[in-house]
Amino acid sequence: MQFITSLLKGDFFTGGKAAVAKPSGRLRVGILGTGKIGTDLLIKVQRSPYMECVIFAGRNLQSAGMQHAVKLGVPVSDKGVSVFSDQSCRCDIVFDATSAAHHIEHAQIFDQLGIFAIDLTPSQIGECCVPALGISEALENKNISMISCGGQSSIPLAYVLASLIPNISRLSLKSVVSPDSIGPGTLANIDEYYRNTRAGLYKYTGINTIDIELISDEAHTQKPMLNTLCAYADAIDMVALRCALLDMEKIVQAYVPGYKLQSEPISIDGGVQIVLTVEGVGDYLPTYAGNLDIINCAAIAVAEHYAQARLAAHQERPLGRRRYQTMVLDY
């Protein structure tokens, strides 16, 4: 069993605070969808040294998100996706934080305009990407799917399980989230959530039988996302598994600081159980909305990787040290 420990010892993984070379320019970014997710994304983009938000687009100029963008001095529009056809709003990257049904239409428009699209809906149109397991897809595809909150939180650990445990017969994932962190978009896309989470888990593990459950915790409205992931198999090396899970936790924490294993892996009847919490960083979303924040953090990691490559190519010099590296553990 071989770990890429150099990833954990270097400057890449310092909770998102690694020293990076200052770029000579920034990529132009648009955000489509002005709800809580889109507004939180805006704050994260504003903090990035590689991107500049040039348009924050939706349908209601009076929405809380629009008003917040105006306070930040960010250009806004109520023309929705059509604004990106305006040359004055030319973008290199667009984050789509609308709905799965709408992204089906939006994806075609972005493709025609040559815009790199990061899909925060569970539309399953683009290439699934989990930054901890490699983001080379960001340089090979024009539409990247961030899967779902359940997918981004569970897939890194499921990848470790599948890598170390032979013949896993079944995976089960139960995610418990605050009702205050489930918006109308999530409810409207619940079938797509289950389908996309299952597809993402299958892509990275090869396991066919996967049970998915999403629960709204009405009794504890301000508790962070809680995931319980179980793998069912006959033979499990708990010592090796424990070390590998801790390594993966550190890798994900590089871009999701609130990602935390709650205990060592636990033996259960017929398999092993892992319990994980995800707490948000508290930009615009509350810290208990880790289920929303993890998608945004992952999306920013992909966007910054893409932006650094584009900026380096424009400057015609080697990329150098990156904040987010293509990461694959070899067990």
Q: How far is CA 100 from CA 140, 180, 192, in A?
A: 22, 21, 7
The dotted CATH code for 149-278 is 3.30.360.10
Q: What is the per-residue pLDDT across 59-104, written as a single tens digit (0 to 9) for each? A: 999 999 999 999 999 999 999 999 999 999 999 999 999 999 999 9
Instruction: Supply 93's token pair.
Output: 């990257």
Strand partners, 226: 176, 277
**pLDDT in tens for each of the 331 residues of the chain?**
332 233 334 333 323 333 334 445 899 999 999 999 999 999 999 999 999 999 999 999 999 999 999 999 999 999 999 999 999 999 999 999 999 999 999 999 999 999 999 999 999 899 999 999 999 888 899 999 999 999 999 999 999 999 999 999 999 999 999 999 986 667 778 899 999 999 999 999 999 999 999 999 999 999 999 999 999 999 899 999 999 999 999 999 999 999 999 999 999 999 999 999 999 999 999 999 999 999 999 999 999 999 999 999 877 554 444 444 434 443 3
The dotted CATH code for 13-147+291-315 is 3.40.50.720
Q: What is the per-residue pLDDT across 246-256, written as a single tens digit (0 to 9) for each? A: 999 999 999 99
Q: How far is CA 81 from CA 57, 119, 242, in A?
A: 7, 13, 46
pTM here is 0.88
Residue 324: predicted pLDDT: 40
What is the Cα–Cα distance from 219 to 216, expressed in whole angstroms? 9
Q: What is the per-residue pLDDT across 225-236, written as a single tens digit (0 to 9) for each? A: 999 999 999 989
Report domain extents, the chain. 13-147+291-315, 149-278
Residue 200: predicted pLDDT: 96
CB atoms within 10 A of CB 203: 17
Asked if residue 118 lies in contact with residue 302, where contact means CB atoms within 8 angstroms, the answer is: yes
User: Catalytic site residues?
Assistant: 149
Asked if residue 200 lies in contact with residue 155, where contact means CB atoms within 8 angstroms, the answer is: yes
Asked if residue 294 lies in contact with residue 121, where contact means CB atoms within 8 angstroms, the answer is: no
